[in-house]
C-alpha cells in the first residue's frame, strides 16, 4: 500500500489517519480508488505530513471529486478559486459568547450548504496560521452512527420525514442549536453583508433520513444549525421531535475533536458528518483554507410556494 492507515480514535467507528502519502502517487488509479474507498467507509480522513501545501491540497481534493467555488466565497478573495479562506481576525470575525465565554470564529454543529438544495460532497481543510493561545479545534460527529443509535420506534417514525432549512448566519437565533447562554457579539463583515440580502435565499427541504448509496447505511440527515422545522409539521409536535433528534445528533460522546498540527489536512464527507469549530480567544488569529468537493446526493429541493406545483408533479397531471 502506498500509504499507512490508522484509526483516529479506537472508541469510534468512523475516522482514519493517513501517513506516508507521497503526492506523486496521486495519479495512480489504485491509490486513488483506495483513498476514495477509505473516505466513503470512514467519513473523516486526517492526512498528516503530506508535503506540497496548497498544490497538494487541491490535487488531493480532486481524488474525491471536482473542486468547485464555494457559493459564499467573497468576490474579492485573492486565493486560488478552488480555495476558500476560513479566517478569524481580531478586527473581523464572528464572535459568540458561549455560556459566558467569548469565542472568535466559533461555529455550532452543522452540515455545509444544507440551506441550499444542492449540497457539496465534502472538502479538505488545511491550516495556514494556527492560534497562538490554543483552541481552534474542529469537531466531527458521524450521522450514520447517530442513526444506528436511535431506538427502533423513532427510526420508523422519522424515515419518511423532511426538514426545512434556511440561511441564518447568526447562530444565536437558531432554534435547534442547544448551546447554553449563546449570544452573538459580532458577525464578520462578509456575513453581515450576506445577511442584508438573506431574504433572497429561499427555504429548502432535505430528507431527515437517507441511504448512503455505496454501502446501504442510513444517515440521520439533520443539521441543527439552519433547521427551521419538519416539513408539514412546523408546530409543537414537530418541533418537539426535532429538538429531541438535534440533541441526539450532537451527542459529544460520539465526537472526534481534531487538534490541528501545521502539517495536517482533513477531509470530511459532508453528506454524513456534522462538524463544528470550538473558536479561539477574541484577540488571537486563526486561518484555514478549504476546498469544496462538488457533488449532489439529488435529494434536496427548494420549498414550493403555496399553491405551486413542481416540474415532476406537472408531468403527472
Instruction: For residue 159, give the CATH number of its domain.
Output: 3.60.130.10
CB 48 within 8 A of CB 263: yes
**Residue 78: what pLDDT?**
67
Contacts of residue 307, defined as CB under 8 A and 6 or more positions apart, other chains included, come to none
Residue 210 lies in a domain: yes
Give me the pLDDT at residue 308, please. Answer: 44
- The alpha carbon dihedral of 36, 67, 141, 92 has a sign of positive
Q: Which pLDDT score, from 0 to 100, does residue 1 have?
A: 67
Kindly tell me the burial class for residue 206, based on how many C-beta atoms sit within 10 Å of its own C-beta (0-12, 13-18, 19 or more).
buried
Is residue 194 included in any domain, yes or no?
yes
Distances in whole angstroms, Cα of residue 7 to Cα of each of 15, 28, 37, 195? 6, 24, 15, 40
Residue 311 has pLDDT above 60, yes or no: no
Which residues, in sequence order, are bridge partners of residue 220?
209
157 is a domain residue? yes
In a domain, 35, yes or no: yes
Q: Which of 26, 30, 6 is closest to 16 using CA atoms?
A: 6
Residue 315: inside a domain, yes or no? Answer: no
In degrees rounded to 5, what are phi and psi of residue 289? -120, 145
Average the pLDDT over 147-151 and give the result.
Answer: 98
pLDDT class of 315 with cuts at 50, 70, 90: very low
Mean pLDDT of 130-136: 94
Is residue 307's pLDDT more than 80? no
**DSSP state letter for 179:** -
Q: Which domain holds residue 185?
A: 4-299
Range 261-278 average pLDDT: 98
Q: Which three cell numbers stand for residue 246?
A: 438535534
Supply the DSSP symbol for 90: T
Residue 113 located in a structural domain: yes
Hey, CA dihedral for 106, 144, 20, 69, is it positive or negative? Answer: negative
Distance CA 115, CA 93 (A): 21
Domain-embedded: residue 312: no
Chain-wide mean pLDDT for the chain? Answer: 92
Q: What is the pLDDT of residue 218?
A: 98
Band (pLDDT 50/70/90 cuts) for residue 211 is: very high
Residue 316, in any domain of the structure: no
Domain count, the chain: 1
Amino acid at each position: 500500500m502506498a500509504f499507512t492507515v490508522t484509526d483516529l480514535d479506537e472508541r469510534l467507528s468512523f475516522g482514519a489517519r493517513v501517513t506516508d502519502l507521497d503526492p506523486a502517487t496521486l495519479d495512480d488509479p489504485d491509490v486513488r480508488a483506495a483513498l476514495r474507498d477509505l473516505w466513503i467507509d470512514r467519513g473523516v480522513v486526517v492526512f498528516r505530513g503530506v508535503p506540497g501545501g496548497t498544490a497538494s491540497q487541491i490535487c488531493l481534493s480532486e481524488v474525491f471529486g471536482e473542486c468547485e467555488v464555494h457559493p459564499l466565497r467573497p468576490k474579492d478573495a485573492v486565493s486560488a478559486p478552488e480555495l476558500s479562506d476560513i479566517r478569524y481576525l481580531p478586527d473581523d470575525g464572528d464572535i459568540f459568547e458561549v455560556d459566558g465565554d467569548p469565542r472568535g470564529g466559533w461555529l455550532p454543529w452543522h452540515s455545509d450548504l444544507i440551506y441550499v438544495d444542492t449540497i457539496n460532497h465534502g472538502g479538505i481543510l488545511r491550516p495556514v496560521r494556527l492560534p497562538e493561545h490554543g483552541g481552534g479545534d474542529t469537531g466531527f460527529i458521524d450521522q450514520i452512527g447517530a442513526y444506528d443509535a436511535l431506538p427502533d420506534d423513532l427510526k420508523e417514525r422519522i424515515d419518511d420525514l423532511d426538514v426545512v432549512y434556511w440561511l441564518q448566519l447568526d447562530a444565536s437565533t437558531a432554534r435547534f442549536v442547544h448551546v447554553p447562554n449563546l449570544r452573538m457579539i459580532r458577525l464578520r463583515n462578509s456575513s453581515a453583508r450576506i445577511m442584508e440580502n438573506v431574504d433572497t435565499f429561499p427555504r429548502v427541504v432535505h430528507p431527515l433520513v437517507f441511504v448512503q448509496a455505496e454501502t446501504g447505511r442510513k444517515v440521520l440527515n439533520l443539521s441543527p444549525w439552519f433547521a427551521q422545522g419538519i416539513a408539514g409539521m412546523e408546530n409543537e409536535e414537530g418541533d418537539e421531535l426535532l429538538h429531541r433528534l438535534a440533541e441526539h445528533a450532537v451527542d459529544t460522546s460520539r465526537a472526534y475533536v481534531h487538534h490541528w498540527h501545521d502539517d495536517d489536512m482533513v477531509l470530511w464527507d459532508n453528506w454524513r458528518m456534522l462538524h463544528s469549530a470550538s473558536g479561539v480567544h477574541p484577540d488571537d488569529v486563526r486561518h484555514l483554507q478549504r476546498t469544496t468537493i462538488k457533488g449532489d446526493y439529488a435529494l434536496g429541493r427548494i420549498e414550493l410556494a403555496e399553491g405551486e406545483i413542481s416540474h415532476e408533479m406537472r408531468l403527472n397531471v
